[in-house]
């Protein structure tokens, strides 16, 4: 599932609001802020996030404590600095995480929801500047709830498709699970009686020790 970006101008308008002028922005002045930036190889203007996000924090009256920046595709599972940000959130290093937009931060809706749920449990707010989302506000909490419902629907649809596919495959005679392994129980028993260890028998037969044990003990 892809995130739909809001027109770029919306971020400028939102960022230009001073803390006292913005409506429903409840994260307090003086809060400790962390910025997460992801820059992919196709970004034409990598300085956009670097410039706009600190300025946004300044206008909100937040104290910037750290900037976490990754340079990679959004589909990569491991991101060194995103992992460091999550670890620092667990240590209570900051009060709010600020990103340019959802797809700069999360790989998918489900990944976003997992991160937001953890931030919520840690009492860390999350702000997406372009989408004008702040989880400390009533409107932000509502968006969080909607995203949760969408993610659950997505999981349900995938689960239903998997089950339907398995049923169709079973009707065609497809068997699921690991293929069965033929074990010569008599031979294995003779090896054991001759004093060979399970490791030696496994090396001799080319089968796993646990497989040999299960076959003999049945």
73 CB-near residues (< 8 Å, 6+ apart): 40, 41
CB-based contact 32:95 (threshold 8 Å): yes
Task: Determine the Cα–Cα distance for residues 134 and 104; give it in Å rounded to an integer.
Answer: 16
Which residues, in sequence order, are bridge partners of residue 133?
Answer: 128
Q: List the structure tokens of 116.
A: 């937001």
Classify 134 as helix, strand or coil: strand
CB-based contact 57:32 (threshold 8 Å): no
* Catalytic choice (16, 40, 73, 156): 40
Which residues, in sequence order, are bridge partners of residue 71?
Answer: 39
Helix, strand, coil in percent for the chain, rounding step 5: 50, 10, 35
Catalytic-residue membership of 40: yes
Q: Catalytic site residues?
A: 40
């Amino acid at each position: 599932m892809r995130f739909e970006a809001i027109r770029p101008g919306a971020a400028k308008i939102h960022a230009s609001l001073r803390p006292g002028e913005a409506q429903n922005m409840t994260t307090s002045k003086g809060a400790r802020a962390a910025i997460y930036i992801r820059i992919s190889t196709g970004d034409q203007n990598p300085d956009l996030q670097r410039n706009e996000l600190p300025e946004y924090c300044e206008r909100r009256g937040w104290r910037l404590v750290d900037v976490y920046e990754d340079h990679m595709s959004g589909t990569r599972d491991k991101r060194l600095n995103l992992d460091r940000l999550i670890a620092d959130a667990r240590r209570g290093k900051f009060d709010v995480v600020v990103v340019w937009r959802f797809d700069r931060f999360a790989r998918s809706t489900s990944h976003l929801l997992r991160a937001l749920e953890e931030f919520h449990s840690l009492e860390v707010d999350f702000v997406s500047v372009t989408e004008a989302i702040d989880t400390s506000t009533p409107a932000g909490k509502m968006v969080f709830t909607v995203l949760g419902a969408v993610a659950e629907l997505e999981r349900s649809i995938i689960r239903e498709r998997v089950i339907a596919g398995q049923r169709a495959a079973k009707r065609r005679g497809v068997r699921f699970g690991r293929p069965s392994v033929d074990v010569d129980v008599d031979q294995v028993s003779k090896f054991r009686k001759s004093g060979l260890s399970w490791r030696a028998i496994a090396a001799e037969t080319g089968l796993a020790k646990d497989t040999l044990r299960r076959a003999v003990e049945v």
